[in-house]
Structure 1
Amino acid sequence: MSSPATLPGAGAPRTPPKVRRPEPAPRVATPASALAAFRAESRSPVVEPDGEEWIVTFFWRDADADEVLLFVNRLTDERDLDRSLMERVPGTEEWQLSYRMPGDWRASYAMVPKRPGRPAPWRDLAEQASLRAALDRGLPDPLNPQRMRNRVGNPVSVVELPDAPAQAWLAPRGPLRGELTRHDLDGRRPWVYRPAEFTAGGPVLVALDGEMWVGELSLPAQIDNLIADGLIQAPLVLLVPGGDRLRRWAELNGSGGMPDWIADVLLPWAVTGHDAGTDAADRLVAGQSLGGAVALLTAAERPDAVGAFLAQSASLWQEGLADRAAAMPATTRGYLEVGRQEWVLLGPNRELHRRLDASGVRHDYAEFNGGHDYACWRGGIADGLRALLGVRAG
């Protein structure tokens, strides 16, 4: 097996296509009532009913800013950033921007201010990575207590409307009941979580981008909660770190060799050292974005080792990847979900769902009103685990 530094594709990271939103985000004029509520209660965003939908108004206080960009996951179009500039309330330090959204919407967001005499952080950037870095380092909303950290570890705020799917297993109910350890394996440093209820030979969950799931978005805590509520079998959890941007692109793209590493290195190691089960039917790979694509490919191309996938917003823009994923055996089980605001990925994931249905692959399919966003994935992963690791009758 190749080392991480020499995996196929390691020298040629690729990026998804930058395509404009098919329709502009539903920006509307800010109601006077929203500004009044903001001033009276110092809260943001202000959410008000508007027929069957809701007007969501974001506010920001900044006397020194020349401009303020509101970066909302997948409402902001990176090909049309001017449309996401907040409006200054004349004669004040207040900035505002409103959207009309359905009641099941959830998203992370941040503000990016431009300071006098300095260039706007989001303009005149030569390549996509620089733009993404600028947007990922925006500032959280100080008037919104709901926060999380994005992939680069920066705090961002979260907005969710009244009908957004519940994330009932997210909050820890106390210290972890099992044991979380970290190990060195073939140039990587995976974590292993062994729930207190796990028994030798039991099911295995491989979670990609593991560094996202061992902090405040604790996947082990969610698993503890699901086990305590009698909803899933206790799995041995292998959390594989994604690493920095270049390494992640090299290893998680469609030619990066990760499915074979999971099957030939990670899982045998877990069997010999951590009592993992050997039945492929009880082994599940979960991932988001590029990791979601790897979860699909592992199930499709290594059915000898893995029998199930949990793919969230899988990066099916990669050439030929959907065809490879669609060729998985009919014995595979899966959970596939994508956000309705993901205009590049929604169509390909819908089409993959159709093809898997036609070939008899048993899987659940879900669409959520959100974007390419851990604010949504952190709840959806629990739904996928319930579907794939649900307690069996008898």
Structure 2
Amino acid sequence: MPRVTGPLEEAWMAAGGDPHCSRLREDLLATALYAENPSITERGGLSPGSGPSTCLYTWTIVDSAATAVALWTNAVFDERSPECNELTRLPGSDLWTITLCLPREWRSSYRLAVWRDAVPPPWRVVKGRHASRRAAIASGGPDPRARLRIAFPSGGSVSLAAGPDAPADRWGVGLSCAEEPSSPAGGRPAGGSEGPPQRPGKPDEDPTRASGGAVRASGGAVRVKCASRVFPGGVCPRERVDPPRGGVDRLSVDGTRAWIYRPPHIRGVPALRDVPRPARPPDDPASSATPLLVLFDGDMWARRLHLGDALDRAIALGLLPPLHVAMLDSLDVETRWRTLGVPGGHVDAVLDGLLPHIRACYPVSAQGAETIVAGQSLGGLSALWTLALGEGTVGHAIAQSPALWRFDVAEPLLAERRWAGADIQAGAYETETLALSTGLVTTLKGAGRRARLAVACGGHDWAWWRIGLLDSLADILHPCGGR
């Protein structure tokens, strides 16, 4: 873990030898609690490897009852030495702090775990591979002193950290904002489980359309509030945008459930439950055909990250053209492992059922070149299988952190000549995934196929997946300068 003695710790210890120690430490405390977590210091030379390409990220909380506080950061958490992930309590105070030296481009989700019992915290005592990491995640929750959060796949939410040179987040997918960053003086209950943040809207409002990052205005529009930290390293559109709202349909085709996002001004169809639907007539006046994006792990995208809201904004701003998005429901962990990442399961469901059905019932393009399939981890591998087995019905794949340890898909991809491109993304901290992704892209490009590798400064993490997906999608749909 790239831990260093941070500027707050240094100043606190230095103040201990000063005649005015008490006043100096009060000033340090006030300054530390004024900044949002993590505070970023442009300072190099504190440790081997630090320099102009790195900076210091400091987390600080106040908790008088805590006996231990741990920071879980995606892919940076040290499982071999769990104590290295714990914040230091500054002498004579209730202030806890930790500083990491990390790249300026770093982006990650994280949680803070506050432990208040006399017995050792669970992340120190559990046994087994990845057990300490899982214990820290389960014991923790979002940082009360950080403003931006996203949903976490296993429940609740996580906070977000991004360096000063992290790629711009133009999309704001799934972002929710804490009311005001505050010091967790009360802390979280030890071992507690934080629930999903409350979102605006009525309790029975359609969860696919509620947005924690927007305020609903009259007339069904979504009024977007822009925050500077939403677009680190980029230009934030300061004007308020009231985009027309698209719609979301729920349907089931041959037992496969999905959400279908419709762009604004495209009429919908009734929710379907394995009921045959007449083909859309060729002269359907609803609209011209749009591109289609098919997403695995659609429950995360539709229900927890509220992708539809982000698409409404992106289409209104001209960052994306109008498009339809099919988001497949993974149901549960067991079903996900059985149906994703294999040359069957949801791949067959897309190619044999969902794709023909959507093309018959919605104004989407029938061209493979305008059909994109995407996924993350096991879903990323499924995206590549869909490309390989699609016989030209799918032209592009966006595979984020694909689980290539499960299958080598190079030969099937090379055997199918009709796909147009494969965008593969991996985190710099995903050692095995990055190596396998690099090898696959090298093989495909060596055979003359269009394949691109993008390396994110992060781990196996929705923090950057939610940005990288739409960045790649914009590149595919706006190849001449959409970005």
When normalised by structure 1's length, the TM-score is: 0.84
Distance 1:132 1:180, change over 3 A: farther
> Which of structures 1 and 2 has the larger relative contact order (alpha carbons within 8 angstroms, sep 6+)?
1
Aligned: 1:45 with 2:35: no
3-state secondary structure, aligned to 2:146 = coil
1:179 aligns with 2:256: no
- Aligned to 1:344, the other structure's residue is in SS state helix
CA distance in 1, matches of 2:385, 2:104: 34
Per-residue deviation, residues 266-297 of structure 1 (Å, max 9, x unmatched): 10121222233322222111111111111111
Query: CA shift at 1:80, angstroms?
Result: 3.9
Partner of 2:463: 375
The separation in 2 between residues aligned to 1:241 and 1:356, in whole angstroms, is: 30
User: Aligned pair 1:362/2:450, yes or no?
Assistant: yes
Partner of 1:193: 261
Moved more, 128-137 or 71-80: 128-137
Structure of greater Rg: 2
Q: 1: distance between equivalents of 2:130 and 2:99? A: 28
1:304–1:348 CA distance, 2 compared to 1 (3 A): same
For 1:55 and 1:34, how far apart are their aligned partners in 2?
Answer: 15
- The question of whether the paired residues in 1 share the 8 Å contact of 2:83 and 2:124 is answered with no
Q: Please say which of residues 298-307 and 112-121 is displaced more in the overlay.
A: 112-121
How many Å apart are 1:385 and its aligned residue?
Answer: 0.7
Match of 1:105 in 2: 106
How many residue pairs get matched? 369
**Which shifted more, 118-127 or 368-377?**
118-127
- CA drift of 1:129 comes to 8.1
Structure 2, unaligned runs of 5 or more: 13-26, 45-51, 174-223, 225-240, 267-286
| CA deviations over 1:196-222 (Å, ceiling 9, x no partner) | 266354321101111222246332233
Q: What code does the residue aligned with 1:235 have?
A: L
Residues 376/30 of structure 1: CA separation in 2 closer, same or farther (3 Å cut): same
Is the 2:299–2:329 contact (alpha carbons within 8 Å) kept by the matching residues of 1? yes
Q: 1:71 — aligned with what?
A: 72
- 8 Å CA contact 1:233, 1:391 repeated in 2: no
CA distance in 2, matches of 1:176, 1:358: 44
Residue matched to 2:282: none
Give identity over the alignment, percent. Answer: 34
Displacement, 1:41?
A: 4.6
Matches within 5 A, 1:230-379: 230-255=318-343, 257-321=345-409, 323-325=411-413, 327-329=415-417, 331-379=419-467
**Counterpart-to-counterpart distance in 2, 1:193 and 1:361:** 31
- Alpha-carbon separation, structure 2, partners of 1:320 and 1:381: 22
Superposed CA deviations along residues 300-327 of structure 1, whole A, max 9, x for unmatched, are: 1223421110111111222434554565
In structure 2, the CA distance between the partners of 1:184 and 1:128, relative to structure 1 (3 Å rule), is farther
Instruction: Please tell me the residue identity of whatever aligns with 2:471.
Output: D
Q: Which amino acid aligns with 1:374?
A: W
**1:148-184 CA deviation, whole Å, 9 max, x = no partner?**
1111231211111111100112265446521112123
User: Structure 1 residues 164 and 34, CA, compared in 2 at 3 Å: closer, same or farther?
Assistant: farther
TM-score (norm 2): 0.70
CA deviations over 1:98-117 (Å, ceiling 9, x no partner): 11112111111101233324
Q: Which moved more, 1:291-300 or 1:316-325?
A: 316-325
Give the 3 Å change call, closer, same or farther, for CA 156–37 of structure 1 in structure 2: farther
- Quick check: 1:331–1:362 contact (8 Å CA) kept in 2? no
Separation in 1 of the partners of 2:386 and 2:312?
Answer: 26
**Contact 2:410–2:443 under 8 Å retained in 1:** no
Q: Which amino acid aligns with 1:352?
A: L
Kept after mapping to 1: 8 A contact 2:387/2:419: no
- 1:314–1:231 distance in 2 versus 1, CA, 3 Å: same
Distance 1:263 1:252, change over 3 A: same
* Residue pair 1:34, 1:57 contacting (<8 A) in 2 also: no
Per mean C-alpha deviation after superposition, the further-off stretch among 57-66 and 166-175 is 166-175
How big is the shift at 1:367? 1.1
The answer to whether the 8 A contact 1:61-1:93 is kept is yes
Partners in 1 of 2:349 and 2:447 — Cα distance?
Answer: 27
The change in CA–CA distance for 1:243 and 1:135 in structure 2 (over 3 A counts) is farther
Gap regions ≥5 residues in structure 1: 1-24
Moved more, 35-44 or 294-303: 35-44
8 Å CA contact 1:87–1:96 kept in 2: the answer is yes
